[in-house]
Amino acid sequence: MKIAMFGHKRIPSREGGVEIVVEELAKREAALGNEITVYNRLGHHVSSSKFDSQIKSDDLKNIKIKTVFTFENSKLNAIVYSILSAIKVSFSNCDVVHIHAEGPASMSFLPKLFGKKVIVTIHGLDWQRSKWGSFATKFLKYGEKNAVKYADEIIVLSKNTQKYFSDTYGRKTVYIPNAVNKPEIKKAEKIKELYNLDKNSYILFLGRIVPEKQVSLLVEAYNHIDTNKKLVIAGGASHTSEYFSQVKALAKDNKNVIFTDFVQGQVLEELYSNAYVYVLPSDLEGMPLSLLEAMSYSNCCLTSDIAECTQVCEQNAVYFEKGNLDDLINKLLYLLKNDNEVQKYKSISAEFICKKYNWDDVVKKTLSLYQK
């Protein structure tokens, strides 16, 4: 089968969950004998051009990767990329076009017009994110409606999103969640050298520093707590650094808050491997891959009680009420004072998450939709 994918920024990359999903699907589908073409967006890594070529992957050697022109540092960047990618796949010899995310789905009508089978994965209700202005929000909503109208199949990553499409559009969708690979636990070597971090010496947040992740709430909660454990904020800004600056301002008087900026490779693996607690305070998620990864590294996870987190972790994590500062403080204090509870969650998280969310299952279900 000849399959084309677009909608991500670029692979190989860890710029966001979409990029990780596209890479995993592409390399695994190619390994099963399918012909995969992936359309990367021209431009630099969202955090810095210094990260552009740091990830190397031999697994991608069987994948055709084509770079699509777009305007760099422009609000039209994603739109131009989506239009040009849709034109390219429409005139290609592919059988299936797999579009990722709501914005790129705005162009789903074009490959459909050219007789291609169109699959759209909704990675989250992007128009709900506070970082978008009026035009971008309307464009994302337009993409969502086009997916409903033109896609042969729509994949959603959470039951919540599935209910939304059913209630809003009467549209049937297919629930295929993200997955995670079982990692190798790493000793604290590089992070000791860079940040003076030891095993269990820090609380970790790892993800994009954007408003819906509520990193500011976590920093504010940490400022109210007397502890010798540090708070590590690992990740870079996305689209704008304004919110990142606000978060840093909250931490300016607390020398125990460490900002690593974007991380990948050995540093990322060591941060996950040695955290005391991983915290995800988001008020909006599609399906949080960072949470799956944190659990796969045997972390005790503390998350907001949004459905996208509770459905992932079930009874295998600790929850606080979304947006509730006092509850977040109380739950952090509880875990800091009760090491036995933390160790209990650490002992069960990896086996649970790796069994529940398996990439082989995801690929099998996705390929069955292509062939349906």
**79 shares its domain with 162:** yes
Residue 20 lies in a domain: yes
Q: Is the pLDDT of residue 52 over 50?
A: no
Q: Residues 196-214: what's their mean pLDDT?
A: 96
More confident of the two residues 144 and 72: 144
**65 shares its domain with 162:** yes
Query: If pLDDT is split at 50, 70 and 90, which confidence band does 48 have?
Result: very low
Residue 182: its pLDDT value, please?
93
> Among 74-88, 155-169, 185-199, which stretch is predicted with the lowest mean pLDDT?
74-88
Bond before 104 cis per omega within 30 degrees: no
**330 shares its domain with 204:** yes
**150 shares its domain with 212:** no
CATH code at position 129: 3.40.50.2000
**333 shares its domain with 367:** no
Residue 127: its pLDDT value, please?
82
Residue 185 lies in a domain: no
Residue 340: its pLDDT value, please?
98
Residue 205: its pLDDT value, please?
98
Q: Is the pLDDT of residue 4 over 60?
A: yes
155: β partners = 121, 174
**8 shares its domain with 132:** yes
Summary mean pLDDT of the chain: 93
Residue 184 lies in a domain: no
**10 shares its domain with 102:** yes
Residue 132: its pLDDT value, please?
72
Q: Is the pLDDT of residue 129 over 80?
A: no
**80 shares its domain with 213:** no
Residue 275 lies in a domain: yes
Residue 134 lies in a domain: yes
Residue 61: its pLDDT value, please?
82
Looking at the structure of the chain, the number of domains it has is: 2
Angstrom distance (rounded) from CA 103 to CA 7:
8
More confident of the two residues 75 and 141: 141
**248 shares its domain with 318:** yes
Can you say whether residue 121 is alpha, beta or left, with left for phi > 0 and alpha for psi between -120 and 50 degrees?
A: beta
Q: Is the pLDDT of residue 147 over 70?
A: yes
- Chain center to CA of 312: 14
Q: Residues 333-344: what's their mean pLDDT?
A: 98
**140 shares its domain with 63:** yes
Q: Residues 97-103: what's their mean pLDDT?
A: 97
Q: Is residue 207 a contact partner of residue 290, using CB atoms and an 8 Å limit?
A: yes
Q: Is the pLDDT of residue 239 over 80?
A: no
What proportion of the chain, given as a percentage, has pLDDT over 90?
A: 84
**167 shares its domain with 262:** no
What is the radius of gyration, based on Cα positions, of the chain?
20
Residue 214 lies in a domain: yes
Residue 34 lies in a domain: yes
**121 shares its domain with 139:** yes
Q: Is residue 262 a contact partner of residue 48, using CB atoms and an 8 Å limit?
A: yes
What is the extent of the structural domain holding 86? Answer: 2-179+357-371
Closest CA to 108 of 51, 148, 50, 60: 148
Residue 171: its pLDDT value, please?
98
Residue 102 lies in a domain: yes
